[in-house]
Amino acid sequence: MLHGRLQGRPATERVPAAAPLLEVFGRQHPGADAELDWLRSSYRVAEFLHGDQRRRSGTPYISHPLAVATILAELGMDVSTLVAALLHDAVEDTEYTLGECRVDFGAEVARLVDGVTKLDGKRLGKDVAERETFRKMVLAAGADLRVLLIKLVDRLHNLRTLAAQPPHKQVRIARQSMDLLVPFCDRLGLYRLKREMEDLAFLYLNPQGHAETAAAVAIDRKARDAYFVTVGKQVRSALRKYRVHATVTARPRHLYSIYEGTKDRPTALSPGRVCRIVIVVEGDERDCYVALGAVHAAYAPLAGRTRDYIAAPKYNLYQSLHTSVVGPHNERIDVLVRTTSMQDVAEDGIAAAIRDLGRSGDHANAGESARHRRDLAWLQGLLAWQGEQPSEQYLDELRTELLGGSIVVVAPNGDLVTLPEGATGIDYAFARGGHVGDRLFSLRVNGMLAPVTAELNNGDLVEALTTERATPDKEWLGAARTARARRGLRAIFDLETDLDNGEIEQG
């Protein structure tokens, strides 16, 4: 229970430090007076619990959970998520317990706080605690994706304030962020968070590359801005001819994206390297295709550069039409076309889906319901091997699993199976569960026989051919892309070894 001196204080008592958080929440959720009172109360509790604690920068520790909660409020998250964000370090860094949190704020908030609370590094050892903390977080996200949102925003704020840390810690946190947290942002479609997180990590991992890229972007900025003013006018004129109402903006690429996409590291950058044109139509999907036609009528499209992520959305909810065209002065320009609702998801991904559920009144089930979207089948794949025995390679396996994008293939019964890019028939077989992987001997892809090591492509119709007499080849391990397939194969080979050594009695 809360300390006695907090009891009886009015819920409406002013808390000046929390004013920005309350203002953002009130703007996102007008009329939610009871929730505002709860937010004030939880802030006072968090402020009291952290007391005189200071961050390495010397600022009061409460500034960190307050900042995390405010960023989440800007994403439109519900009050339970914000309360959990305010308390997310309390169990770890104060004498406050989960039991007290459950009594004071309810089971939902306590579950979210528990999901992001680190395990005891002194008791388990630093490496084991880090590995098992990530395992715990992924398992908790399997029940409620808001756990992962809190963790990602927590890391984003830590990166914003990383200058206060010693250099070795800056590099360690930045590297872990780039390897694990950025891929989670990508998988959840949190592109706004992803862009900032990548740029902040880039700053500490490659200061010279960061500085050189920023300097290259600064060159000819005025001329580039003028160039996109011209392009914007021409695109708007083309859209009007096709009677499409839309906003047209030049969106700058973030520094890390420019750095990664510029192989020769020039001292100056073409306009298309620095900005894209984003068209947000005031209409439905059909208007997007009309807008695409208008752009192609105005500028010649580059062959093979048009992608339709509206008819076939990405694995992380993202929808847009992509094209590349030849603009004025023969400059290549990338153009994205989407609706207003697609724009929200393109920036905030699963957070947009969760806040939409929350605004419809389904606060309690927002995160849990969003998890079951078919678009997030990759999360179920992660969960499939989370509960196995602890492994020293766990974080490496998680990095590998999150690396790159995803594809979706179709099973004979019509099921959609999400796999990582580069996945083979072996990965598909083990993803199907049961004894499919154990009994695999061949593959049929789009009606044609194929080796089990064949790499699959997005949209393939895949059938695993099985027999009880199957004998998996040890070379399959090198072709397996997913941790689930590799673990399944190792289990088969270990069993065969035990049988050969007579270590298992056979009936």
Catalytic (active-site) positions: 92-93
> CB count, 10 Å around CB of 491?
13
**Which is it for strands 307-308 and 406-410: parallel, antiparallel or unpaired?**
unpaired
**Helix (H/G/I), strand (E/B), else coil: 22:** helix
Measured CA to CA in angstroms, residue 412 lies from 68, 300, 418, 462, 484 at distances of 45, 40, 14, 7, 21
Q: CB of 174 within 8 A of CB of 156?
A: no
- Run of H or E including 481: none
Q: Backbone dihedral region of 150: left (phi > 0), alpha (psi from -120 to 50 degrees) or beta?
A: alpha
Q: CB of 143 within 8 A of CB of 173?
A: no
- Run of H or E including 249: strand 246-252
Tell me the backbone φ, ψ of residue 441, rounded to 5 degrees. -135, -20
Tell me the backbone φ, ψ of residue 462, rounded to 5 degrees. -125, 135
Residue 85's closest CA among 75, 175, 8? Answer: 75
Q: CA–CA separation, 265 vs 281, rounded Å?
A: 35
Contacts of 246 (CB under 8 A, 6+ apart): 236, 239, 279, 280, 281, 282, 287, 291
Q: CA–CA separation, 17 vs 6, rounded Å?
A: 17
Write out the two tokens for 32: 């939610």
Q: CA–CA separation, 347 vs 342, rounded Å?
A: 9
